[in-house]
Amino acid sequence: MKHCDKSLLVLSLIFFKHFTQSNAWPSLSSLHNYNNSNNQPAIGLIKNQTDLLQQDFQKSIEIQLQASKNSKHDELFYTLGNGQAYSDPVSVQRIGSNGPLLLQDHHLIENLAHFARERISERVVHAKGAGAHGVFTVTLRQITNLPLIGKKTPISIRFSTVGGEQGSGDQARDPRGFAIKFRTQKGIWDLVMNNTPVFFLRDPAKFPNFIHTQKRNPRTHLKDPNIVWDYFVHNPEALHQFMRLFSDAGTPQGFVHMHGFTGHSYRWVQKDGSWVYVKLFAETNQGIHNFTASESMKILGENPDYATEDLFNRIESKKFPSWTMYAQILTPDQAEKFKYNILDLTKDWPFDLVEKHEIGKFELNQNPQNFFAEIEQIAFSPSNLVDGWEPSTDPVLQARLFSYPDAQRHRLGVNFQQIPVNCPLNPVVNLQRDGLSVLLGNQGSRMNYISSYESKMNLQPKAYDESNHTIWTGGAIRSLSEITEIDFDQPRSYWNSLTSNDKKSLTT
């Protein structure tokens, strides 16, 4: 930078400080004092001005957050987006009482422009949902290397239906999403679960096709049962999930009377690198209660937001819903000998074959203060992992590791992880910079590449030795889409577990 450029920078900083803080021009003597004997800018003073500017940035964020939380609205004054006080929010500027509007009415223009951009893309699946915040408490220790052990961890949960749009009914016959965000001291950990232990497919290439059958006919723009059943008939591996869906379990009484399942198998890893396959299961402490088909249709017509309202009212009245978390565990050797392919999302691990172990409890005890900021903008992904929790080679899970964060980048922007509800509790230090809606300082003046002249970037060693990991696939992936007799084993067991009334509900 040339000397004149540096001088201009100093003058600009001085002007900014004096004008914003005292609304006065700096004196000539103050300008003179910012030069040393060699007539060069005083670097220490420039740094001081930079620090003050950063403090102003931080202060502005804190002030806006505090204003959002302020429940005493009579203490706040109406302003424009830039903070300027505005005296009448419903007036417009025009020529006379019948003349045209004026372009200088920036309040009206700002309001109309923002209104036209209020809506963001809805989720391509799980668009309709509700959520709340709470805490997870570990009850069983020494089971893994996860950073939850011995701690109470803040969580956020979003429940949802799968196929419907944002305005659709909560009580539609549909699987329910059950996503949990754990805010650990070692990063964000997401469990993206459903209320059933299995799913409609085990081949990720089928997922977009299947979801299209749950949406609207491209010609009529109507929900089309013909395409739903066309998919079902030609993909019999979906039988188990379809049976669950068309039983009364497909219409749970709200979000609090249902379980949650990871569905996929994951890997729990110890510090020595040893690991086991695991599935997690959240058991509702409110008991399982479902609507019949006729009850569900009645609720849909009377109150399409039944589940959302029920969840909010329970928490608001301090009747906090809770769940108990269990783990099912198989060693790699047990997995190879297991009756079912542990990488097949259409297969459950029956409790009589793989026992469950309690690992913790969680409770929802706080409603969102702003639904859009805390629930609509919350972004879950199975790729949000922490040390001790690793994905298996389940192909649907592997596809979700990419698809979920990619969908969030489309829906919320490339910097979606800077949105407060998605922010980790530990510092984020990487080489990602810029893009739309940078919220948190853009990682300051740190270089955006591995620099040889800056101080060395600290690298945290892996918490365990990955070289000890054993890989087992056994050929399951190559034959995954083939239909065999075992694909009908669990649907048969599910049918036999139903009562006569449940069987009648399923078949009528």
Q: Is the pLDDT of residue 243 over 90?
A: yes
- Tokens representing 174? 């549909």
Determine the pLDDT at residue 22: 44
Determine the pLDDT at residue 471: 59
- Tokens representing 92? 């417009």
Annotated binding site for heme: 404
pTM confidence score? 0.84
Question: Could you tell me if 182 and 155 are in contact, meaning their C-beta atoms sit under 8 angstroms apart?
Answer: yes
Lowest mean pLDDT among 67-71, 305-309, 433-437: 67-71
pLDDT tens, position by position, 387-396: 889 999 999 9
Determine the pLDDT at residue 151: 77
Lowest mean pLDDT among 27-31, 270-274, 328-332, 497-501: 27-31
- pLDDT bin (cut points 50, 70, 90) of residue 410 is very high
- pLDDT bin (cut points 50, 70, 90) of residue 15 is very low
Determine the pLDDT at residue 8: 46
Average pLDDT over residues 337-356: 95
Question: Could you tell me if 362 and 326 are in contact, meaning their C-beta atoms sit under 8 angstroms apart?
Answer: no
By the 10 Å C-beta count (0-12 exposed, 13-18 middle, 19+ buried), 274 is classed as middle
Compute the chain's Rg from CA coordinates: 28
The whole-angstrom separation of Cα 372 and Cα 336 is: 45
Average pLDDT over residues 184-213: 95
Lowest mean pLDDT among 10-19, 181-190, 215-224, 327-336: 10-19
Determine the pLDDT at residue 257: 98
Determine the pLDDT at residue 356: 95
| Of 14 and 455, more confident | 455
Number of H helices, E strands in the chain: 14, 10
Q: Is the pLDDT of residue 435 over 70?
A: yes
Average pLDDT over residues 323-335: 96
Q: Which superfamily, per CATH, for 129-427+463-507?
A: Catalase core domain (2.40.180.10)
Give the range with max mean pLDDT: 62-71, 284-293, 385-394, 466-475: 284-293
* End-to-end alpha carbon distance in the chain: 79
Give the range with max mean pLDDT: 71-75, 115-119, 374-378, 490-494: 374-378
CA distances from residue 309 to 172, 220, 249, 320, 379 in whole angstroms, order as listed: 15, 32, 20, 14, 22
- pLDDT bin (cut points 50, 70, 90) of residue 441 is confident
- pLDDT bin (cut points 50, 70, 90) of residue 439 is confident
The whole-angstrom separation of Cα 296 and Cα 136 is: 31
Q: List the catalytic residues.
A: 126, 194
Average pLDDT over residues 354-368: 96
Determine the pLDDT at residue 338: 95
- pLDDT bin (cut points 50, 70, 90) of residue 143 is low
Average pLDDT over residues 161-169: 95
pLDDT tens, position by position, 267-296: 999 888 889 999 999 999 999 999 999 999
Q: Longest C-alpha distance within the chain, in Å?
A: 96
pLDDT tens, position by position, 85-136: 888 888 999 999 899 999 999 999 998 998 999 999 999 999 999 999 999 9
Residue 439's CB is within 10 A of a number of other CB atoms, namely: 12
pLDDT tens, position by position, 253-269: 999 999 999 999 999 99
Which DSSP letter does residue 40 get?
-
Average pLDDT in the chain: 85
Q: Which parts of 260-383 are beta strand (E)?
A: 260-261, 266-269, 275-284, 322-330, 356-366
Q: Which parts of 306-416 are beta strand (E)?
A: 322-330, 356-366, 389-391
Average pLDDT over residues 185-199: 95
Average pLDDT over residues 458-472: 66
Residue 22's CB is within 10 A of a number of other CB atoms, namely: 9
Determine the pLDDT at residue 446: 78
Give the residue range(s) of CATH 2.40.180.10 domains in the chain: 129-427+463-507
Q: Is the pLDDT of residue 486 over 60?
A: yes
Annotated binding site: 404
For 318, residues 6+ apart whose C-beta sits below 8 A from its C-beta are: 365
- pLDDT bin (cut points 50, 70, 90) of residue 19 is very low
| Of 285 and 59, more confident | 285
For 327, residues 6+ apart whose C-beta sits below 8 A from its C-beta are: 143, 268, 278, 279, 280, 281, 356, 357, 359
Q: Is the pLDDT of residue 70 over 90?
A: no
Determine the pLDDT at residue 189: 95
